[in-house]
Amino acid sequence: MLPFQWKALRIGDHVVVHDDSDRQLTLHDGVVRRLAPNAGDDRQVIIKLDDEAGVVRPRRQAVHIAPVDRRFACWRCDAIADAA
């Protein structure tokens, strides 16, 4: 996700999140549940995943606005496509 998109996120926005702890970088649908200030110019975004009971606090680079816009390069999406 581009920095201006990250800063524009609002509670209730639908997003797609890569699971960086999964070797397959699985994509999960989610909804922004909380926005919290963080050190520096960035902020922490808390996302409730649709397919799990938990929440995640992903890095900006692991999140896409739903639906995913393939015009923007994403090495995680590329890795998923290469593995298929």
Cα separation, 62 vs 42, in Å, equals 15
pLDDT of 53 higher than 70: no
The predicted-structure confidence for 5-45, as pLDDT tens digits, reads as follows: 998 999 999 999 998 777 888 889 999 999 988 776 678 99
Helix or strand run (H / E) with residue 18? strand 14-18
Pairing outcome for strands 14-18 and 63-65:
antiparallel
**What kind of fold does domain 3-83 have according to CATH?**
SH3 type barrels. (2.30.30)
Query: Which one-letter amino acid corresponds to residue 10?
Result: R
